[in-house]
Amino acid sequence: MKKTRAVITGVHGWVPDYILTNRELETMVDTNDEWIVTRTGIKERRILKGENKGTSIIGINAVKGLLEKTNTNPEDIELIICATVTPDMPFPATANIIADGVGATKSYSFDISAACSGFLYALTMGSQFIETGMHKKVIVVGADKMSAIIDYQDRATCIIFGDGGGAVLLEPTEEEVGVMDSLLLSDGSGAPYLHMKAGGSRKPATEETVAAREHYAYQEGSTVFKFAVTNMAEVSAQIMDRNQLVADDIAWLVPHQANKRIIDATANRMGIGPEKVMLNIERYGNTTAGTLPLCLWDYESQLKKGDNIILAAFGGGFTWGSIYLKWGYDPK
């Protein structure tokens, strides 16, 4: 019997209209365009402005576009998984709100929290539900409204992050395409270097936590950078090895967009040239769980059926990982 795999049959992204440029950041903190571009590769990022607008807005817009372009009836969706660290609220899950917003009334839905690796975790999990035969249509969303948890007085973090995300539709196939392999890792001893100090059960919100600016993302940038460079490169090389892939076999690397220097190091370790590396950090910055689907969306028209693609990410937790997939369709 042929193996059933999960294949991505559509991808769509969404970013808010407001563009926060390096020039505008220069008016907010002690930084400059030259430093940001050379140290990170980022020129601008998107910000979701307005009252009462959470990550679900990003997810709903991405999923609506996805349903439309794949001609899918929302009532045929059986499961929606949303990877995010900026849920609309601690509960209910943002995925529940997205499902309601797109009319996926016959689905169940839940969130996954794995920071910048969230989309890899969610895609792996969504694929399992397809491979086992439990579901036929699963949507995986990666989205974050990072501006909700960024301290715009902290120049070391506010320059990197932005808002946005995307979604993919997973369906079964018996062809040799789809999610081929997944390698996921985590190490909670990395928590001190990238976390949010207050607002969880360990340190609920008080006037003091607000005054101490503890409801923002805290990052020791250079420590995270060192772990990210080593681990993202290593896990990508490992997934190539165990699938007997050499650099020439790879059509595309889809790297988490946190810092252009981390992306370059990963591509170098894999031995692949810049022409095969998806890059949009310049325009969107680091959208956490949103970066990978946003890349796939941006490059969709260049992808061909059977392309070997490596996705890789590293982030808070620490969490990191890599997925090997064969693209499932030619440009439409």
Which CB, 56 or 287, lies closer to ligand UT7? 287
- Distance between first and last Cα of the chain: 31
Smallest separation, CB 93 to ligand UT7 (Å): 22
Rounded-to-integer distance, Cα 287 and Cα 258, Å: 8
Helices (H), 159-220: 207-211
- Smallest distance from ligand UT7 to CB 107, Å: 29
Active site residue ranges = 116, 256, 286
Distances 265 to 62, 206, 241, 323 between C-alpha atoms, Å:
30, 42, 18, 18
Is residue 158 classed as helix, strand or coil in its secondary structure? helix
Residue 110 C-alpha from the chain's centroid: 16
Kindly tell me which of 225 and 324 has the beta carbon lying closer to ligand UT7: 225
* Nearer CB in complex with ligand UT7: 178/293: 293
SS3 category, 223: helix
Nearest distance, CB of residue 48 and ligand UT7, angstroms: 18
Q: Give the single-character DSSP code of 303.
A: -
CB of 189 to ligand UT7, least distance (A): 16
Looking at beta carbons, which residue is closest to ligand UT7?
A: 221
CA angle 146, 151, 152 (to 5 degrees): 100
CB 166 within 8 A of CB 41: no
CB closer to ligand UT7 out of 119 and 129: 119
DSSP class of 316: T
Task: Read off the amino acid at residue 214.
Answer: E
Q: Which is nearer to ligand UT7, 69 or 261 (CB)?
A: 261
DSSP conformational letter for 33: H
Amino acid letter, 209:
T
Tell me which residues touch ligand UT7 (CB under 6 A): 31, 35, 39-40, 116, 155-156, 159-160, 221-222, 224-225, 228, 258-259, 262, 286, 315
Least spacing, CB of residue 286 vs ligand UT7, in Å: 5
Identify which of residues 5 and 256 has a Cβ nearer to ligand UT7 in the complex. Answer: 256
Tell me how crowded residue 106 is: count the other CB atoms within 10 A of its CB. 12
